[in-house]
Chains A and B, each alone.
Chain A
Amino acid sequence: MKVLILNGSKGSPGLNDSIEALKSGLTEKHVEFTELKLNQMKYSPCRGCFNCWVKTPGSCVFKDDGDIICREFITSDLILAAAPLVLGYPAASVKNALDRAIPLVHPYLEEVDGEAHHMKRYGKYPAMAFMLEKESDTDADDMAIVNEIFTRAAINLRSRLAFIKYTDEGIKGVLDEINIH
């Protein structure tokens, strides 16, 4: 069991404390993890050129830290993005990282439960999870929207959404979920 923490913190002490508590909890439980501090990494946003599908299949043509994101993503069992909500959706650094994971799937479309989705390139994909920090005006509607979007995103990355937790619920719930996983 290996966890990849995509740390999308923008510096809020509350979220940073939660991430530290998460890491100590994982260490205590002897769960292997890697942390990528997204704001210290250099990766271009995906430009939609599709070269990762049609020119260098499986690899992005940008030679930057996106390569590390892909390698860590596909060799992990659980991706845990820890980030603040910014205007109702996780910080842009997380979205840019997820966009850069598309070399991991195949361009071919196939039918999955009555919808078109991308075909797998690899045999096994990690589950996805989120630990998010609310904004002052985050409401039930926001949480429902985020939940829906990532349930869908997980299908398209041939993953599944394991859980979304919020930092105001404390870290125990996150660790329990990882344990079950």
Chain B
Amino acid sequence: MKLTFINGSPRGVSSNTGKLMEHFISGFLETEGNSVDTFYVIKERPGFESIISAVSRAENVLLGFPLYVDAMPGSVKEFIEGLAPLKGKLPGLKMMYLVQNGFPETCHNRYVERYCEKLTHRLGFTYGGAICKGGCEGLSVQPPFLVEKVFKMFNEIGRAFGKTGELDSDLLAKLAHPEHVKAENIKQVAQMVNGFLWDQWMKKNGVEHLSFARPYGEDL
């Protein structure tokens, strides 16, 4: 089986989307004969010719991206618009998605997931589902055992996909956990993320005193 992975992260190679998919792909490749082609949306702007030509020849496409302002990054929307000429021409193409977000809960992704499904039908491709995962910002500062667990699940779902050609619904549900986080737990997580990720990062740059700067007007 062949998989075309389109990495839609504006960070390109150094993206969380790529880190997660590395594990999916290594699981996928465990089945003999499977192969993967990877493309980067941000590198192919503004024409996306090579990705679009790859999509037109592909069997299985997985478009992965981080959630930006509750939807796909603008550069991914540019790419999606480039798919218009393929509308109605590839009924056998299976299109899948990975949407990951930096909030503690997965629920934020469900709205753009609905868009992705509708888009796939509109283009006349076959919808193969979406991997939705929250809690993906600051993978480098999260406790290693938690990150390992996520990577392991990506490996598992990739391995299962490599064998069956389907995204396993039980594994999708497992990966999406937690869909919501209780208010008191959000407060705890926020405190950690704010302190360990953002404060430390600002401190490293010597700008923690500017954290709440209002460059467009102090009185706004």
Contacts and interface: CB of A to CB of B under 8 A. Distances in A.
Contacts of B216: 58, 70-71, 74-75, 104, 122
Contacts of B77: 86, 89, 91-92, 95-96
B207 A152 contact: no
Given A74-B220, A95-B71, A88 B118 contact: yes
B146 interface: no
Contact of A86 (B68, B81, B190, B207): B81
Interface in A31-82: 45-50, 53-59, 70-71, 74-75
B55 to A, nearest CB: 14
A74 B80 CA distance: 29
Interface residues of B, number: 61
A149 B112 contact: yes
Q: Which applies to chain A's interface (DSSP): helix, strand, loop or mixed? A: mixed
A124 B219 CA distance: 10
Interface stretch (A18-26, A105-113, A173-181): A105-113
Interface residues of A, number: 58
A114 B187 CA distance: 10
A103 B213 CA distance: 10
B168 interface: no
B10 A48 contact: yes
Interface of A: 45-50, 53-59, 70-71, 74-75, 86-89, 91-93, 95-99, 101-104, 106-111, 114-117, 121-124, 137, 141-142, 145, 148-150, 152-153, 156-157
**Closest 7 CB pairs between A and B?**
A96-B74, A95-B74, A92-B77, A109-B190, A45-B75, A153-B70, A152-B70
Interface of B: 9-11, 15, 42, 45, 66, 68-75, 77-78, 80-81, 83-84, 103-105, 107-108, 111-112, 114-115, 118-119, 122-123, 180-183, 186-187, 189-190, 193-194, 197-198, 201-202, 204-205, 207, 210-217, 219-220
25 contacts: A45-B74, A47-B10, A48-B15, A48-B73, A54-B207, A57-B212, A75-B216, A87-B81, A87-B83, A87-B84, A88-B118, A95-B68, A95-B69, A96-B75, A98-B69, A99-B74, A107-B198, A108-B190, A109-B193, A111-B183, A114-B183, A115-B180, A121-B214, A145-B111, A149-B111
